[in-house]
């Protein structure tokens, strides 16, 4: 999957603007994460159509990066996130971003973006990856 990372000014309404732009373009968000760091806003979005999302947001003046993200499925019970992040840490991989994409009573689906080579992470987590 692809993750769009939008770096913008940290101001009231920026998230609403991005959500409206994508909605009007018919692009559904599968996951979103947003936080402010001083005067910058960092918004990460996984969408149903990353190509259209990238085009429309760039056309509207937003600066963004498009990166690969893997989706993993883990049991939805206490301690499982600790187990999978410990496996990643033991391999010396730094997690750039991680967020909940979906969950039900039995499973949680996480989006994970490493700061390094994503193929190494894919190999380590091959039993958890959702295609």
**Least confident window among 44-48, 79-83, 101-105:** 101-105
Domains of the chain with bracketed CATH: 2-67 (3.30.2130.10), 70-124 (3.30.70.260)
| Averaged pLDDT, 12-30 | 95
Confidence class for position 131, pLDDT limits 50, 70, 90: low
Q: Is the per-residue pLDDT at 130 higher than 90? A: no
- Res 126 pLDDT > 70: yes
CA 117: distance to chain centroid?
A: 16
Residues 36-41: what's their mean pLDDT? 92
Is the distance from CB of 64 to CB of 5 less than 8 angstroms? yes
What is the reported pLDDT for 117?
87
CA-wise closest residue to 5 among 95, 61, 70, 68:
68
Average pLDDT of every residue of the chain? 93
How many angstroms separate the CA atoms of 43 and 18, rounded?
9
Residue 128 confidence (pLDDT): 84
Q: Which residues make Cβ contacts (< 8 Å) with residue 69, sequence separation at least 6?
A: 1, 2, 3, 46, 97, 111, 112, 113, 118
Q: What percent of the chain has pLDDT over 90?
A: 87
Residue 117 burial (C-beta neighbours within 10 Å; 0-12, 13-18, 19+) = exposed
pLDDT of residue 96: 92
Q: Phi and psi (nearest 5°) for 15?
A: -65, -40
Is 88 strand, coil or helix? helix
């Amino acid at each position: 999957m692809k993750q769009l990372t939008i770096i913008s000014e940290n101001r009231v309404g920026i998230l609403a603007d991005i959500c409206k732009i994508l909605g009007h373009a018919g692009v559904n968000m599968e996951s979103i994460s947003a936080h402010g760091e001083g005067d910058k806003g960092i918004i990460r979005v996984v969408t149903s159509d990353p190509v259209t999302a990238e085009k429309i947001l760039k056309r509207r003046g937003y600066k963004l990066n498009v990166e690969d993200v893997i989706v993993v499925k883990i049991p939805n019970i206490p301690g499982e996130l600790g187990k999978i992040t410990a496996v990643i840490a033991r391999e010396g991989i730094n997690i750039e971003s991680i967020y909940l994409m979906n969950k039900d009573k039995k499973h949680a689906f996480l989006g994970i973006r490493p700061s390094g080579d994503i193929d190494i992470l894919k190999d380590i987590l091959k039993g958890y990856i959702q295609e």
